[in-house]
Amino acid sequence: MLSSKLAIVTGGGSGIGQEICKKLASSGAQLIVADLKKSSAESTAKLLPGSGHTAFQIDVSKYDDVERLKEFIQSSGHHPRVLDSTLLKMSREQWDDVINVNLNSIFMMSQMIARESVKSQTSLSIVNVSSIVGKIGNFGQTNYSATKAGVIGFTKSAARELATKNVRVNAILPGFIRTPMTEAMPPKVLEAMISMVPQRRLGEPEEIANAVLFLASDMSSYVTGTTIEVTGGLGM
């Protein structure tokens, strides 16, 4: 399905990102596993079926790191297919940190990879990972919710601008997904979360990866500027 295609997955060292890497590699893609922790990226790369996968250490909130990734892509000769506290007490630093990681990084990565795609005249599918809280909000997450809403708006605007350039841009909105973080929650907190979900269960990382694979592949060749909610019905 993605044979001979290059996929870049940021945050691919663990959790949902790792599952996305596994799904895309199983479909034939060659992966650049990008993560803040090089050891995590390397661990994921070793798990992947196929060959030619690369681990890449990157802080996606830093312009110089994104430029370093661009240079690596150019030197590889491949062109990418996919890119995947409470308000009253929140400090300016807490706000800025989340904005940089969740929103500024989307702009820098998308701009870099779209420019490369347009220059080389190759097709590209950008899949951004937002969150259902970008649509419905969440207590104690004003900064996180704002960034994820921003990702939705960015996705739709970028899709309009790039539609005639053979670049598709879509987003996934995960709900409550089983990760090491949820597994560490107190049982009562976890039960309260699950009670909010119409399907009465947590989502699995593979269910996010399945949606990413759809948007990354030619199965969604006529899909751009859309968001897919993978939430078990949360937020409907």
CB under 8 Å to 235, separation ≥6 — which residues? 132, 135, 136, 173, 175, 229
CA dihedral 48, 51, 56, 60 (to 10 degrees): -70
Paired tokens of 23: 């799904």
Alpha-carbon distance of 183 to 14, in angstroms, equals 14
Residue spans of alpha helices (H) in the chain: 15-26, 38-47, 63-76, 92-99, 105-120, 133-136, 142-162, 180-183, 187-195, 205-216
Per the annotation, the verdict on 144 as an active-site residue is yes
Q: Which two tokens stand for residue 150?
A: 């921003």
Contact 198, 232 (CB under 8 A): yes
DSSP string, 22-73: HHHHHTT-EEEEEESSHHHHHHHHHHSSSS--EEEE--TT-HHHHHHHHHHH
Q: How far apart are CA 219 and CA 43, in angstroms?
A: 30
The residue from 10, 35, 144, 231 that is catalytic is: 144
Closest by CA position to 137, among listed 128, 146, 129: 146
Q: Among all residues, which ones are annotated catalytic?
A: 144
